[in-house]
Amino acid sequence: MNTRFTTIALLAGAAALAGCKTTAPEVLPPEPGPSTQTTPNNTAPAGPVLGTQEHFVNGVNGQNVIFFDTDRFNIDGEDAAALQAQAQYLMRNQAINITVEGHCDERGTRDYNLALGERRANAAKNYLVSLGVPANRIRTVSYGKERPVATGSNEQAWAQNRRAVSVVIS
């Protein structure tokens, strides 16, 4: 259903698409939950080890999070660039599987937001699959409005919370 997005998939992953509608907030939210991050200090003082969230985030230039407009789940140009980077990483590192977490802002009812988060996670997953990542390497989970990264009640915070976060399954 998102096939029309594949046409822009060939664009360079890291390049921001000038002129595209910007939905991402000015300030990037913190990296996803600490539970998914392992400290590589003991074994690899040189840098993040493959298989860690840190390695993944570095490998996609910090573009492991994409953002959505209010009540929307479509992949815009900036999202496409980020997902392209993620797809390239996943193609390079065939052993890595990810979970895409779908999130919403607090300005929605609980049940609906759970379903909307699921839609967002699936939109990101479908896009990655359209770029050649096998579907069985991507799990989805919706957290609805349960796990905000920005805790304010304002447009900027809500924009940061309407997101899909890709997390390495360790």
Partner 1 sequence: MRIWTFLIALTIAAPAAAQDLGTPVPQGGEVETVEQEGGLSGSVTDESDWEDLGIAIAGFATDRDVETPASSSGTAGLGKQMAQVVFNDLRNNGLFKPTGPDALPQPSFTQITAPNWPTWSNRSAEMLVHGYVRARPDGRLTVGCYLYDVALRDELARAGWVVPPADWRRAAHKCADLVYSRLTGEDPFFDSRIAYIAETGPKDNRTKRLAIMDSDGANHRFITTGRSTALTPRYSPDYRKLLYLSYVDGNPRIYVYDIGTGRQTLITQSENPTFAPRWSPDGNWILYSMAVSGNTDIYRVSAEGGPSMRLTNTPGIDIGGSYSPDGSKIVFESDRSGSQQIYVMDANGRNQKRLTFFGGRAATPEWSPRGDQIAFTHIAGNFRIAVMNPRGGDLRHLTDSWQDEAPTWAPNGRIVQFFRTARNSGDTSLWQVDLTGRNERKLPTPVDASDPAWGPILP
For binding to partner 1 (CB under 8 A), which residues are involved? Answer: 71, 73, 106-107, 109-112, 114-116, 118-119, 121-123, 126, 140-142, 144, 146-153
Q: How far is the CB of 130 from partner 1 (least distance, A)?
A: 13
Q: What are the C-alpha distances in Å from 12 to residues 7, 42, 80, 163, 166?
A: 12, 35, 10, 22, 19
Q: Letter for the amino acid at 50? A: L
CA 74 to chain centre: 13
Would you say 94 or 109 has its CB closer to partner 1? Answer: 109
Please, which residue, 11 or 169, has the CB nearer to partner 1? 169
78 or 101: whose CB is closer to partner 1? 101
Minimum CB separation of residue 80 from partner 1 in Å reads: 18
Instruction: State the minimum distance, in angstroms, from the CB of residue 128 to partner 1.
Output: 13
Quick one: CA dihedral 86, 106, 71, 116, positive or negative? positive
The whole-angstrom separation of Cα 133 and Cα 15 is 20
